[in-house]
Amino acid sequence: MRGIGSSEQVLESSAAAPWRRNVQDVLTTVKIGIVNSNLMTAFTGVWLALSFNGESLWTSITPVLFVMLGTALVIAGGCSLNNFIDRDIDPLMNRTQERPSATGTMRGKTVLIMGLALSVAGLISLLAASATAAAFGLLGLLVYVLVYTMWLKRSYSMNTVVGSIAGAVPPIIGWAAIDPSLNSPVPWIMFLVLFLWQPPHFLALAMKRVEEYRCAGIPMLPVIAGFEVTKRQMIFYVAVLVPTSLLLYSIGPVYMAGALILSFTWLGLAIYGLLIKDTIKWARIMFVYSLNYMTLLFLIMIISTFFN
């Protein structure tokens, strides 16, 4: 009886394996990590809009659900389209060569259809939340897919800066589901915070992977200008980010304390890059800190509302 049970388990495991692989392929193609991080910033926009407008999450649950679903789908669709477009250069980089669209595990046509379907479904969901949310969702999608992926990424080192527009719109999308007028400066400042955060974040990644980008022919700043110029650019963006993050003082003192600590620590770390000899090690530290900075800063925004 024990032997039979073991055989059945093996058969069940074998049957389930392809299904698990298919799910993993889809999650990899839509870049689930990017979807999750952008959902956090979108929810922060929703939460602050509720707080500043004196509304309850439960009384506004319908637009909240639509905007969160729509944001997730649009980002997943945009990432899928990015994979479809980049399937010729992804095999040249260690970071991307295992993507299903690069290995051929998922056919290009499948990835394209999935990207278009997710994008359209996401925009419809955002439209159900508010027309303003859908408009900014469409803006982010077009910038990411057409302007960044299809044009700037392969031609200009400014690709990181312009591409930051797409990554900075989720808080505005979230806020627009509750307050479509966008009359408050808060969502626009959140946009600026994320816009300024992305260049040093992605430049740190580009420094870590500089040889891969060079091999793939992607003109990232470290490839065409070197590490020292890249370091100074990163310091500039972090330095501007410090006062910009403090413009959100209306969120409350808890946020201000957190923003001061996080922002000045990052600025100090960025300046330290001018002195350190192991540039790649420093780039790794900068990349990891940037992820923690963004996550903690937006989490503190939400937490601070409970103390007002």
* 173-224 residue pLDDT tens: 999 999 999 999 999 999 999 999 999 999 999 999 999 999 999 999 999 9
CA 300, 302, 306, 308 torsion-angle sign: positive
Question: Span 231-241, mean pLDDT?
Answer: 97
pLDDT at 166 over 70: yes
Same domain membership, residue 158 and residue 37 = yes
Domain that holds residue 253: 185-308
The whole-angstrom separation of Cα 173 and Cα 187 is 9
Token digits of residue 294? 């963004």
Q: Measure the CA–CA gap between 265 and 293, rounded to whole angstroms.
A: 10
59 and 113: one domain? yes
Per-residue pLDDT of 11-56, as tens digits, reads 444 445 677 888 999 999 999 999 999 999 999 999 999 999 999 9
Question: How many domains does the chain contain in total?
Answer: 2
**Considering the chain, what is the average pLDDT of its residues?**
93
Residue 138 CA to residue 122 CA, distance in Å, equals 9
Of 182, 198, 221, the residue at which a domain comes to its end is: 182
Same domain, 37 and 157: yes
**Would you state the pLDDT for residue 9?**
52
> For the whole model, what pTM was predicted?
0.92
For residue 35, which of 2, 7, 68, 5 has the smallest C-alpha distance? 68
Residues 73 and 172 in one domain: yes
Assigned domain for 244 exists: yes
pLDDT at 150 over 70: yes
Distance of CA 9 to the CA centre of its chain: 39
| 264 plus 137 within the same structural domain | no
With a pLDDT cut of 90, the percent of the chain lying above it is 90
For residue 6, being part of any structural domain is answered with no
Please calculate the CA angle 28-31-34 and round it to the nearest 5 degrees.
150
Q: pLDDT value at position 8?
A: 52
Question: Which structure tokens are listed for 289?
Answer: 């800190």
Question: 41 and 170 share a domain?
Answer: yes
Residue 54 is part of a domain; what is its CATH number?
A: 1.10.357.140
Q: Could you tell me if 111 and 203 lie in one domain? A: no
Token digits of residue 263:
């922002």
Residue 1 lies in a domain: no
| Rounded CA separation 109/97 (Å) | 18
Give the Cα separation of 222 and 225 in Å (integer).
Answer: 5
Q: b/e string for 199-220 if b means 16 or more Cβ within 10 A? A: bbbbbbbbbbbbebbeebebbb
Q: Is there a single domain that holds both residue 50 and residue 126?
A: yes
pLDDT recorded at residue 4:
42
Rg (CA), the chain: 21
Q: Is residue 259 predicted with pLDDT exceeding 80? A: yes
